[in-house]
Structure 1
């Protein structure tokens, strides 16, 4: 070994240092690489854990989805563009009894019961346009037999919006279909029951009205003869009972028609004032017989004419006001008419109010007052009889018109019924000038009948007059001492004394005052003594219930006479001219006389009593009668009339052997002038469709039993000397021959 040269030591150390440096650097780099690998391993491990979690979540979702699909019980299938199945669920396999291996890759249409056609789509037809879904019900053959399946088919698109598959989801709706069929069957049965009920009511109406015609008609004929007071009382009781029974029948028929939806509303212009006042006049005799007042109160804001069903509105008023009179023992009934809401636009909310001072109702009765067959007093000892249908009918009519009805009542304090009806305006209310026609006039009214006096005061005040109510002669004296008055109005008789004495006192205190007496229609025999001659205490009269136009006309006339200085002089003015709308005071009953030349009337009627009644009514008015017991005899009578003496035929509808419809058709088919004879249906059928059926059967008019003498006379007068348009051609041929 050579000796170590110390002069080489630096190089050695330098080499050693370099070697050490290189070793350390290599170690450092290796350590860095190892650390990087460890980090990559940790990242990979984290990603593996994440993938494991995601795989578990996906598996859980798939299991949940599978459970959900199995639980809902719907059939789910998918088809490709060639209509081959690409997927079916377990419910499909269970429902149709097929395995996946049998159906996947093949077209599928479910089997249907014999006679049914398959409806499931085999292509994309109908799914290419929105909403890209088709729904339909189909009855198919399943492992449980024929079942109804509600299918929903919709298109499956890829990310580019291209159609790729059809998915069909089918739900078993057999229970729903069975329920629908049961409902349909129940509805059909209900309709049949309604039809049977209507036929029953029509038949019962005819069967009841036929004897009722005899009862009421023959009783009226009996009352036209000389009777002892007791006999007349008994006959009046029979007639009143017959009319009450007829009213009950009419209520039941009305209700049945409304319940069956057979009521149609006819919209036409009408005068609401005339409707209200005419109803008050119609019911006034019944109220006066009970010592009650009937008054009307009409707001100036009510349009002159409205569009609506006038007969139905009249029926509502008659039902409500008739009930009010029925349940009122003292005081009276007020019929009011006003307009609610803003007075702009072409529609008005008409408010009809019927207020009475009757027995009233408690809260329990109010809750059921509009129910069918409801009575405020349900006890066996109740005082007021009836069907309990009037208010139910009224409510249904109001509902049909789009309105509403309310009632306010308290036991022992009367009731107020309010009916709100939305109606179109045909002619607006009068202007301010018309409402100020009596401006500057001072009117005193005797206040011994509060409802009547208050109504007169409101009506006169609405026309601009200054009104004051006086309770008695002393109050009258004080009022005239305080200021002169133009007119004094009082009843002929009242709690404050005889009207003539009060009028004389008013004239004594103020010679220029005009006087008006309030009379009932039956007070006609007192009219001349009260208003005619120089000593007459009154200058004019008003018929109760008083129309607003009549009051305005009387007051205007007295005002003109007052300016001319004629007050107190004999009143020669024709009162009818200033009271054109008021009903005339009735004349004493006279024997009926025919307003037309005597006719020869053929009466076809199988009921002996009704035949006798009709014959008597006709003969009392001077006509001659030929009777036929059925359609066969009616045709024979017409054919035997070679001289052409028969002028008109009254034809019953229901007769044995041949009914009135067939008999009419046979008469119209004759080759003689008799084919043009006027034929009037005379029947107990009371339905509106019955009238139309008669007209459709070539009859010319219709009279419903029980037939009133006035209605019969009016109809005869209308057709006397006329020929039927239904038989004109046959009649013309016969005349030419």
Structure 2
């Protein structure tokens, strides 16, 4: 060897030795590196294998946690988890389990994994089972047992997983340690090759560092998995804790505060019995002791706890023992809040009791049978129904097949067979009974014991005969509806809430085929015909209609036939219980309408182009025009506006009237705008506006403006300058006032003339009547007769003048009442018979038999016509006869007739040249005639106008020197009957009527008339008290004087007859009869007397016989005429004129006097201002003044006058029925004139008291 070395290495021995040593070292190092590489590679593979096993163990933990979470979620919300998802997850978990077991090398590890696989299989089997039992989660006890078992298994599995994890960590540490030892040995042996070894070590350390990081990451993942798993274990309403054998908490989960109110920190080290009520201490302790002594792995108990807020909750506690070397060292417990379950159990118990009661009282049949079909339970309706259908007596304990009809036995056996196999069976059956056909709905439900074994069946029978009958009716109605819908062009669909098409007409099928290409058939799903992009919108509409809404939509389709627009109307169909049972929608083709709308859109564009032209037109119109928005801001003004007010658009647009005018005027403008907005109608106002060139009167018409959607967006106005027209109108009003004043003066003149003439004439005629009843010589009687004839002629002249005045003024009215023609003729002729007899003339009446005697017309005017004609005939006839003839000219089918009344005399006649003027006023045949026969020439003129007022005519024929005939033609309506009026005897001819001694109060201011009335009354023994005016009469009545009747002159000083009568009726509330007596000729005076409560009306000069008649009627309590009586009653039942009671109650005389003085001072001026504003047609001013007057009237509670003024206010405000305002104002003024003296009297009394 030495020789060889020498040959190869020809060096020194030392060097060679060193070299050989180096070579040996290198060789040795290389061998060590080689051997270490083999060992390290083996160690790395073992470490990698260990990590792989640990990864699969982590997957197993994660899979178990996900499976547990999925089951918990299913128990809480079944719809969120499916059976397939659980199966998939468990398959993945099983694969991880098998792979981990196959990878395991360590025998102990293999055994642990096999045990874990068995436990996992058991847990998965139970989890899959609950998904196959839909009714499982409705059984709270089963759910609780399942959760407890799962928790126990989970606890065991977690223990096993911890063993596997600990074993795997130990193996990892062992193999890592071996690897580290090999590396250290390599370093020591290969120290000589430091550089190479250091490099190797560096590489090895880097790899080791990497492995260490991977291990730490695996350990961190395991800890995170354990935390996640614990959170999953502590599900909703559950907490976990561990306790030692002394019952002290060692660990409490974070959710303890939710259940107990205590945080885990607060419970740590505390006794478990701190939460248990004292009454339950022994029972809970006994349960734990029993588990301890019996070494029971699991114990479940339910008991209440007391929370930190002193609230009682029920919990379910599942306890597991914790052992160490087979010694029990504590308990692992899971607690669940079951307060709701306890309450549910209580309610369930109550519900079961209620069900039992309802079962005994229900109308439905119910019975239960066992598997042998023996009846075990049966209610009354079930027994009675079976007996009705079979005619047999049925009792509990009998076999069902023996008490059902033979023809249904086979079906019954089949159905019960299905039920005993766990199926639910329901069907409908038809039976023929003694009471007719009966339909039943029969349902079979299996009856199970606690072990889920089917031991029988429960049967419910419901009588659905009426439902079947209704279904037949509904089917018939549907048939008619289908027939009706088939004839309409609109599509119609009826869809059930589950989207099934119930009904569709032909038009609907055609539209659906056109729009979708599919034929809509009944029984299909409506969503099959809806395009995908429209399904969401349709679904939203459909759900709204199902909830009771009515919806509309428009849809566009491009079809082979062209563009198509359809309009859908959706509406719900409800049953009698108001529940929506179907959705109907009508489909209408609106393509034509849409085309029109498109055309309108095109027109709108053209309209915008024309907007400028419109503005040009507005600017060039001479009228002032403007537009405001709904807030009163100007939106548009034209050129006339700008020029009239000398303002620019920038100064006006966007501003309101309050920016330019005074507040009062601006408020008026705004009120007019608001009225237009509120009523949507035009409003017209007159305004006086101050312009730069002076004051102008404008007629402004304001009207609403709508947009294309018919939505109000503004107020338009057109103003016309009517300054000149207003000035002309003021002149016309002034002229009208003068004319009215002249007419009133004329009327007042005639009334005064009548009064001034009638008053002395009443004295003349009255005294003449007195003279006639005294002893007179023949010459004195002749003088008296002359006085009588002269006074009669004067009275006739006055009446003619007044009648002519009334006719010309249009104030003479024609009545339509039923009357007896024969009696009217006799009454009209009777006054002339004596004079005819004195002149030895024959006066006769001839009435054709064909003439109807019961007529409707104006008997007063007929009498007046005949009186005028007979008066002329007697006046101008000295010898011969006078004949009145009545005949029927024509009777019509509608109950009307035309009569001819003629008066023929044999008097002086009328010449031909005078005939054409005979009906003119103040005309007579000749001057000498007037001088010889007297008269005014007014009678025939009045007669002609009366005939024309009644719709008739008058004609005359005459032969001078031989006589004259006047023919009157008048229309009448034939009446059925006329009430018979009892003739009143002349009191002056019968002194034994027992009216002597009666007391009468006479209010008359004329001394002559006082004497005449007193003499007339004293002749019949009546006691008479005379006063000079109404005030004196009222004072006597207030003093307590009693009278049987009152006679009132209407024209008296201080307090006239109207005011006196009103005071008596309203203030004194007396009901004694009142007779009005007046010489006035004012129109409608008689009706006014009746309205104020008077009972009769006599004119001066009066005829004593007429006065006696009225006295006898009232003093002897004979029935008065309906008019007087009703009027009196109406007045007494009407509204009082005023009421000062609330002012009296204030007990403040100074305030009382101040209110009355203010009313008397302001009311006349306000009435006059309203009258002035009415003449000028200033309705805004009328409204304001009337509103102001209302407050005064309200204070004094003058309800009648307040009603009139309120009506005037409303008419002026709305400018409706404004033609009635003058009449209402006149009535209000008259009413004030009545009330004024009464208020003055009240004021005078109050001043005296003060």
Residue pair 1:630, 1:657 contacting (<8 A) in 2 also: no
1 or 2 for the larger relative contact order (CA 8 Å, sep ≥6)? 1
Superposed CA offset, 1:113-154 (max 9, x none): 9976669x99xx99xx9xx99998776666764455668999
User: Equivalent residue for 2:999?
Assistant: 601
User: Equivalent residue for 2:820?
Assistant: 271
Secondary structure in 1 aligned to 2:883?
Answer: strand
Which of the pair has more CA radius of gyration? 2
Q: 1: distance between equivalents of 2:770 and 2:760?
A: 15
Q: Evaluate the alpha carbon distance shift between residue 635 and residue 347 of structure 1 in structure 2; reply closer, same or farther with a 3 A threshold.
A: closer
1:429-440 aligned within 5 A: none
1:691-730 aligned within 5 A: 691-722=1086-1117
Secondary structure in 1 aligned to 2:940?
Answer: helix
Residue pair 2:1018, 2:1024 contacting (<8 A) in 1 also: no
> What stretches of structure 2 of length at least 5 have no aligned partner?
1-616, 706-714, 1133-1250
User: Equivalent residue for 1:21?
Assistant: none
User: Equivalent residue for 1:613?
Assistant: 1012
Q: 1: distance between equivalents of 2:700 and 2:925?
A: 56
Q: 2: distance between equivalents of 1:134 and 1:641?
A: 59
Q: 1: distance between equivalents of 2:1051 and 2:734?
A: 34
Q: 1: distance between equivalents of 2:988 and 2:634?
A: 94
Residue pair 1:85, 1:103 contacting (<8 A) in 2 also: no
Q: Evaluate the alpha carbon distance shift between residue 369 and residue 138 of structure 1 in structure 2; reply closer, same or farther with a 3 A threshold.
A: farther
Q: Evaluate the alpha carbon distance shift between residue 234 and residue 307 of structure 1 in structure 2; reply closer, same or farther with a 3 A threshold.
A: same
Q: Does 1:418 align with 2:967?
A: yes
User: Equivalent residue for 1:20?
Assistant: none
1:190 aligns with one of 721, 736, 739:
739
Q: 1: distance between equivalents of 2:738 and 2:662?
A: 28
Superposed CA offset, 1:373-414 (max 9, x none): 444446897434333333333333333333333444565554
Q: 1: distance between equivalents of 2:661 and 2:835?
A: 73
Q: Evaluate the alpha carbon distance shift between residue 134 and residue 678 of structure 1 in structure 2; reply closer, same or farther with a 3 A threshold.
A: closer
User: Equivalent residue for 2:767?
Assistant: 218
CA RMSD of aligned residues (A): 5.6
1:161-560 aligned within 5 A: 173-341=722-890, 343-361=892-910, 365-377=914-926, 382-409=931-958, 412=961, 414-427=963-976
Residue pair 2:910, 2:961 contacting (<8 A) in 1 also: yes
> What stretches of structure 1 of length at least 5 have no aligned partner?
1-65, 157-165, 429-579, 730-737
Per the TM alignment, residue 215 of structure 1 is displaced from its structure 2 partner at its CA by 0.7
Q: Evaluate the alpha carbon distance shift between residue 77 and residue 595 of structure 1 in structure 2; reply closer, same or farther with a 3 A threshold.
A: same
Q: Evaluate the alpha carbon distance shift between residue 144 and residue 270 of structure 1 in structure 2; reply closer, same or farther with a 3 A threshold.
A: farther
Per the TM alignment, residue 661 of structure 1 is displaced from its structure 2 partner at its CA by 5.3
Question: What is the aligned length?
Answer: 496
Per the TM alignment, residue 426 of structure 1 is displaced from its structure 2 partner at its CA by 1.7
Per the TM alignment, residue 292 of structure 1 is displaced from its structure 2 partner at its CA by 3.4
Q: 2: distance between equivalents of 1:677 and 1:427?
A: 36
Secondary structure in 2 aligned to 1:235?
Answer: helix
1:684 aligns with one of 1060, 1069, 1079:
1079
Residue pair 2:624, 2:718 contacting (<8 A) in 1 also: yes
Residue pair 1:287, 1:294 contacting (<8 A) in 2 also: yes
Q: 1: distance between equivalents of 2:1009 and 2:987?
A: 24
Q: 2: distance between equivalents of 1:180 and 1:333?
A: 58
Is 592-601 or 633-642 further displaced after alignment? 633-642
Length-normalised TM-score, structure 2: 0.33
Q: 2: distance between equivalents of 1:147 and 1:392?
A: 51
User: Equivalent residue for 2:358?
Assistant: none
Secondary structure in 1 aligned to 2:975?
Answer: strand
Q: Evaluate the alpha carbon distance shift between residue 113 and residue 295 of structure 1 in structure 2; reply closer, same or farther with a 3 A threshold.
A: farther
Per the TM alignment, residue 651 of structure 1 is displaced from its structure 2 partner at its CA by 3.9
Q: Evaluate the alpha carbon distance shift between residue 287 and residue 115 of structure 1 in structure 2; reply closer, same or farther with a 3 A threshold.
A: farther
Is 308-317 or 139-148 further displaced after alignment? 139-148
User: Equivalent residue for 1:454?
Assistant: none
Q: Evaluate the alpha carbon distance shift between residue 146 and residue 359 of structure 1 in structure 2; reply closer, same or farther with a 3 A threshold.
A: farther
User: Equivalent residue for 1:630?
Assistant: 1028
Residue pair 2:988, 2:1105 contacting (<8 A) in 1 also: no
Residue pair 1:294, 1:332 contacting (<8 A) in 2 also: yes
User: Equivalent residue for 1:160?
Assistant: none
Residue pair 2:685, 2:701 contacting (<8 A) in 1 also: yes
Per the TM alignment, residue 427 of structure 1 is displaced from its structure 2 partner at its CA by 4.3
